[in-house]
């Protein structure tokens, strides 16, 4: 979110300083792991759809700006998205409501139709499919680098290895204290991800930071030839633990080798995002493998890689975005609750609006930090 904001501010001709405590990108926060799903029929809430529509335009623009015609270099891949769940569950009716409210294209598929179209899936009893053509994935590390490089080409300064310790509004702007010294500016945008709690002082957002597991598996040995590849296979989400579920991506010839799967449900809570991370346990791997065995047996092969990543969950699962209550020179973007990356492109524009104009034409009132003030 921070790199996108730097880019949008710099391209408007503003003098911009980006401060990052680690490297860019890095593997200690929320943006690593090679892929982030992007979809428009937003079961979480239909009000996100207009933001996604602008987000899609900006991702396409970023691809063009980076000249990414070569599939291995592209930031945004359209694969289609298949969501499986009970007809009266959370995911399919939620996606349907968002699609109907905003006139989006979709197809409802019976279990048999899903298996005909995507033979790798075994669809459980009572489940139906919702297919959205205009879904896919973003490559987060690549997108972050692109935003940073473009910001710098428009004159922004980005400093890595510089931790912000605290901030204070002064009459005309903001003073920020970092490990290296003091910085003054007209406006501060706080995009500290899992470390946001430390920056918030009086705001009772009730953020919880959770450890999330992701893993990559090889194609099952007896199913060589099954195509789970980009081009043949969609991004997918299965409502395995209502209202949450497992999700994954097609296999690619770039990034991490293997078939990626993860569980979208807040995991084990972390007291300190910088604290010691436990490795991925055998039980956690076995649980992911059990899901593949049941729903996508072609992908039930040996484990190739695994890692952990952090969610910053807000109390209601919705983003916390807008002017910092009581501090007119500060804008907050946090609590992305495990579903924020797809919005990074449009967040850059929105955060830049708030910093430059004090307001944005985007409909983001429903995400305002005021609800926690």
Ligand X SMILES: Cc1cc2nc3c(=O)[nH]c(=O)nc-3n(C[C@H](O)[C@H](O)[C@H](O)COP(=O)(O)OP(=O)(O)OC[C@H]3O[C@@H](n4cnc5c(N)ncnc54)[C@H](O)[C@@H]3O)c2cc1C
Binding residues vs ligand X (CB under 6 A): 1-2, 19-22, 29-31, 33, 36-37, 163-164, 191-195, 212, 214, 262, 309-311, 336, 338-342
Rg, Å, the chain Cα set: 21
H-helix or E-strand spanning residue 229: none
Cβ at position 324, least distance to ligand X in Å? 15
Q: Which residues have a Cβ under 8 Å from the Cβ of 69 and sit 6 or more positions away? A: none
Q: Using DSSP, state whether 159 is helix, strand or coil.
A: strand
Cβ at position 293, least distance to ligand X in Å? 21
Nearer to ligand X, 113 or 162 (CB): 162
Nearer to ligand X, 246 or 339 (CB): 339
Cβ at position 137, least distance to ligand X in Å? 7
Q: Which residues have a Cβ under 8 Å from the Cβ of 47 and sit 6 or more positions away? A: 363, 366
Nearest partner of 286 among 263, 312, 309, judged by Cα: 263
Nearer to ligand X, 59 or 220 (CB): 59
By the 8 A CB rule, do 139 and 71 touch? no
By the 8 A CB rule, do 210 and 267 touch? yes
Nearer to ligand X, 226 or 309 (CB): 309
By the 8 A CB rule, do 4 and 347 touch? yes
Q: Using DSSP, state whether 168 is helix, strand or coil.
A: strand
Taking the alpha carbons at both ends of the chain, their separation in whole angstroms is 22
Cβ at position 125, least distance to ligand X in Å? 27
Nearest partner of 177 among 163, 166, 168, 186, judged by Cα: 166
Cβ at position 273, least distance to ligand X in Å? 8
- Measured distance CA(73)–CA(78) in Å, rounded: 14
CA distances from 141 to 7, 20, 30, 150, 333 (A): 15, 15, 11, 14, 19
Nearer to ligand X, 84 or 226 (CB): 84
| List of E strands, the chain | 17-19, 36-38, 76-78, 81-86, 107-109, 127-132, 136-138, 157-159, 164-170, 173-178, 181-185, 188-190, 208-217, 235-241, 244-248, 259-264, 268-269, 303-313, 320-324, 327-334
Nearer to ligand X, 114 or 194 (CB): 194
Cβ at position 203, least distance to ligand X in Å? 16
Nearer to ligand X, 37 or 200 (CB): 37
Cβ at position 22, least distance to ligand X in Å? 5
Nearer to ligand X, 23 or 202 (CB): 23
CA distances from 31 to 6, 73, 142 (A): 16, 18, 10
Cβ at position 367, least distance to ligand X in Å? 13
Cβ at position 123, least distance to ligand X in Å? 22
Nearer to ligand X, 22 or 111 (CB): 22
């Amino acid at each position: 979110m921070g790199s996108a904001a730097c880019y949008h501010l710099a391209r408007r001709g503003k003098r911009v300083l980006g401060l990052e405590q680690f490297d860019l990108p890095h593997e200690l926060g929320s943006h690593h792991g090679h892929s982030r799903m992007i979809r428009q029929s937003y079961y979480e809430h239909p009000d996100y759809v207009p933001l996604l529509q602008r987000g899609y335009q900006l991702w396409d623009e970023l691809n063009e700006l980076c000249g990414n015609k070569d599939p291995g270099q592209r930031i945004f891949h359209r694969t289609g998205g298949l969501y499986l769940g009970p007809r009266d569950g959370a995911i399919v009716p939620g996606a349907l409501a968002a699609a109907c409210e905003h006139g989006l294209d979709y197809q409802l598929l019976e279990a048999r139709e899903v298996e005909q179209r995507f033979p790798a899936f075994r669809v459980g009893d009572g489940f139906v499919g919702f297919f959205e053509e205009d879904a896919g994935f973003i490559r987060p590390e690549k997108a972050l680098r692109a935003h940073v490089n473009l910001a710098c080409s428009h004159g922004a300064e980005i400093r890595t290895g510089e931790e912000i310790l605290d901030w204070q509004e002064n009459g005309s702007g903001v003073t920020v204290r970092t490990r290296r010294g003091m910085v003054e500016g007209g406006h501060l945008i706080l995009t500290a991800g899992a470390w946001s709690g430390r920056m918030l002082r009086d705001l009772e957002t009730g953020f919880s930071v959770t450890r999330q597991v992701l893993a990559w598996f090889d194609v099952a040995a007896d199913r060589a030839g099954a195509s789970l590849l980009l081009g043949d296979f969609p991004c997918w989400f299965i409502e395995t633990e209502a209202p949450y579920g497992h999700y994954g991506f097609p296999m690619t010839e770039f990034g991490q080798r293997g078939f990626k799967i993860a569980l979208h449900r807040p995991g084990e809570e972390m007291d300190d995002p910088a604290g010691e991370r436990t490795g991925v346990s055998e039980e956690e791997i076995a649980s992911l493998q059990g899901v593949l065995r049941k729903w996508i047996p072609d992908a039930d092969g040996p484990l190739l890689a695994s890692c952990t990543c952090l969610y910053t969950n807000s109390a209601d699962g919705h983003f916390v975005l807008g002017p910092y209550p009581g501090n007119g020179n500060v804008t907050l973007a946090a609590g992305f609750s495990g579903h924020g990356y797809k919005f990074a492109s449009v967040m850059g524009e929105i955060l830049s609006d708030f910093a430059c104009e004090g307001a944005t034409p985007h409909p983001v009132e429903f995400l305002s930090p005021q609800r926690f003030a």
